[in-house]
């Protein structure tokens, strides 16, 4: 991929992201009551990466459709994503999201729950606008994605009470909690674009594997990124005692005092701030940072293999570029 193509794809991404931002704001700004929709506006006004709506657009185009066929569906997927973030932040008692106060911290928990629920309702309203003759398939995909996200969140919560979570169990959880949403964006986008069954299946597989790589990269960034880039505290997963890909790998590979230290993280439901560097060093010594990078490359490779089905080279290249940007991001 040459420099000219990368610049072209970057410009397209920024242009379409701005369009999505405007449409997101318009989806809630004139609604009433203000007590519900002003907090919703605060949430959707945050400058997110808009990964999910852009995937809807790009996969629509990849099978011969046009962006205009799926703008509403793209907005719906970002609204659905924000619904999950609100509830996730409440359950994690998170202070910040995208460098700003989380909704329940800026307002209150009851408001945040209600805003999340309202965003889900508006998401259904928007997904129906683009469904046309595909309404049954699109709504089924959308609803299945929502169900899987809830199942994944429940599994994640279950893991908090367990000492023996395996990598396979973890991968199942992130397939549902994180990858499912990215998968559904690709499924809906390629369906709205008029893709064949084979095209929709291949592009959906791209989304699933990219979603798994994305979450493992997220786990890695939590311990390796710069706090100013990440928009939240480094080592947050360890502070909360979360069983991430790196933590489970470290527990599997450790022995002696190292293993006891990791087990204490589970017993104590997290670590102190002054222990973050100690565990970052332990992860490095055990090789789990490299293990995570290997896994990211594995699932990214699987995602890219699915793109063989896309006929137009430019459409295939932009999805390769998109995946590369996701797994090499710094925040």
Q: Is domain 3-327 given the CATH code 3.40.50.1220 in the classification?
A: no
Contacts of 103 (CB under 8 A, 6+ apart): 39, 42, 43, 86, 89, 97, 111, 112, 115, 116
280-320 tens-digit pLDDT:
999 999 999 999 999 999 999 999 999 999 999 999 999 99
- d(CA 254, CA 285) in angstroms, rounded, equals 10
70-80 tens-digit pLDDT:
999 999 999 99
Instruction: Look at residue 226 and tell me whether its pLDDT is greater than 70.
Output: no
**Angle at 61 (CA atoms; ends 56, 64), nearest 5 degrees:** 135
- d(CA 162, CA 155) in angstroms, rounded, equals 11
As a whole number, mean pLDDT of residues 81-98 equals 88
Write down the pLDDT at residue 98.
78
As a whole number, mean pLDDT of residues 81-101 equals 87
Give the DSSP letter of residue 274.
G
Whole-prediction pTM: 0.93
Write down the pLDDT at residue 2.
84
Q: Which helix (H) or strand (E) holds 61?
A: helix 51-62
As a whole number, mean pLDDT of residues 57-78 equals 96
Which of 96-100, 175-179, 219-223, 327-331 shows the lowest mean pLDDT across its residues?
327-331
As a whole number, mean pLDDT of residues 19-38 equals 95
Give the pair of three-digit tokens for residue 1: 């991929």
- d(CA 21, CA 88) in angstroms, rounded, equals 22
Residue 77: name the closest of 104, 103, 51 by CA. 51
- d(CA 309, CA 203) in angstroms, rounded, equals 8
As a whole number, mean pLDDT of residues 124-128 equals 95
Q: How many CB atoms lie within 10 A of CB 328?
A: 10
What is the pLDDT confidence band of residue 228, given thresholds at 50, 70 and 90? very low
As a whole number, mean pLDDT of residues 201-218 equals 96
First to last CA, the chain: 23
């Amino acid at each position: 991929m040459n420099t000219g193509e990368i610049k072209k794809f970057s410009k397209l991404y920024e242009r379409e992201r701005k369009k999505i931002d405007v449409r997101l704001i318009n989806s809630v700004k004139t609604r009433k009551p203000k007590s519900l929709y002003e907090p919703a506006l605060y949430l959707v006004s945050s400058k997110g990466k808009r990964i999910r709506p852009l995937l809807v657009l790009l996969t629509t185009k990849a099978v011969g459709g046009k962006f205009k066929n799926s703008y509403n569906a793209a907005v719906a997927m970002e609204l659905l994503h924000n619904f999950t973030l609100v509830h996730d932040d409440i359950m994690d008692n998170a202070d910040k999201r995208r460098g700003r106060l989380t909704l329940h911290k800026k307002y209150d928990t009851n408001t945040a729950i209600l805003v999340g629920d309202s965003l889900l309702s508006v998401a259904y309203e928007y997904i129906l606008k683009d469904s046309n003759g595909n309404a049954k398939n699109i709504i089924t995909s959308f609803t299945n994605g929502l169900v899987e996200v809830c199942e994944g969140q429940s599994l994640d919560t279950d893991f908090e009470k367990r000492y023996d979570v395996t990598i396979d169990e973890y991968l199942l959880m992130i397939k549902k909690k994180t990858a499912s949403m990215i998968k559904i964006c690709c499924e809906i986008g390629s369906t709205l674009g008029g893709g064949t069954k084979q095209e929709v299946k291949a592009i959906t597989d791209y989304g699933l594997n990219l979603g798994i790589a994305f979450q493992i990269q997220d786990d890695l960034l939590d311990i390796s990124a710069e706090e100013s880039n990440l928009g939240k505290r480094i080592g947050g997963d360890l502070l909360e005692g979360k069983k991430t890909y790196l933590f489970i790998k470290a527990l599997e590979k450790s022995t002696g005092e190292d293993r006891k230290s990791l087990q204490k993280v589970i017993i104590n439901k997290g670590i102190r701030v002054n222990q973050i560097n100690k565990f970052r060093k332990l992860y490095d010594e055990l090789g789990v940072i490299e293990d995570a990078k290997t896994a990211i490359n594995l699932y990214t490779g699987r995602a890219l293999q699915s793109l063989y089905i896309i006929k137009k080279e430019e459409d295939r290249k932009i999805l390769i570029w998109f995946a590369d940007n996701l797994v090499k991001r710094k925040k």
